[in-house]
């Protein structure tokens, strides 16, 4: 009798992990590097940016800032410009990663 409940619980957990992957995407490595005044040094990102493209691995849900970085431009949003001046990440356009509770 416990086996069906265990399997149902396991199926729910897997569905929750798969469904929450978008929520866990968070700020990209490129946006984080830009806030520090640096360029992303991931080989995949460097290669993509040379071609003025987004890195398909690191920027699956690209923000406005990711798109601008790929085009070697500054983001045109005022909120992003202000955050960049302060060496911060615009949290309006680049959502923070949600951390799992233990």
Alpha helices in the chain (DSSP H): 2-19, 29-35, 43-50, 64-70, 78-85
- Chain segment 44-85, per-residue pLDDT in tens: 999 999 999 999 999 989 999 999 999 999 999 999 999 999
Distances (CA, A) of 23 to 27, 66, 83, 88: 11, 17, 22, 21
Per-residue model confidence (pLDDT) at position 52: 95
DSSP symbol at 33: H
Instruction: Please tell me the distance from the alpha carbon of residue 80 to that of residue 88, in angstroms, as a whole number.
Output: 9
Contact between residue 53 and residue 35 where contact means Cβ atoms under 8 Å apart: no
Residue 52, phi then psi, degrees to nearest 5: 55, 40
Q: Is the pLDDT of residue 39 over 50?
A: yes
Other residues' Cβ atoms within 10 Å of the Cβ of residue 31: 27
Per-residue model confidence (pLDDT) at position 22: 35
Percent of the chain at pLDDT exceeding 70: 71
Q: Is the pLDDT of residue 25 over 70?
A: no
Q: Where are the domains of the chain?
A: 26-91
Per-residue model confidence (pLDDT) at position 96: 80
- Chain segment 1-15, per-residue pLDDT in tens: 565 665 555 555 444
pTM of the model: 0.67
């Amino acid at each position: 009798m416990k086996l069906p409940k265990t399997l149902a619980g396991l199926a729910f957990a897997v569905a929750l992990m798969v469904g929450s992957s978008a929520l866990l995407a968070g700020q990209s490595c490129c946006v984080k590097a830009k806030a520090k005044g640096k360029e992303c040094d991931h080989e995949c990102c460097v290669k993509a940016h040379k071609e003025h493209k987004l890195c398909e691995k690191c920027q699956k849900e690209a923000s406005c800032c990711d798109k601008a970085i790929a085009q070697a431009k500054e983001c045109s949003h005022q909120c992003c410009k202000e955050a960049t001046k302060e060496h911060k990440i615009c949290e309006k356009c680049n959502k923070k990663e949600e951390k799992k509770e233990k």
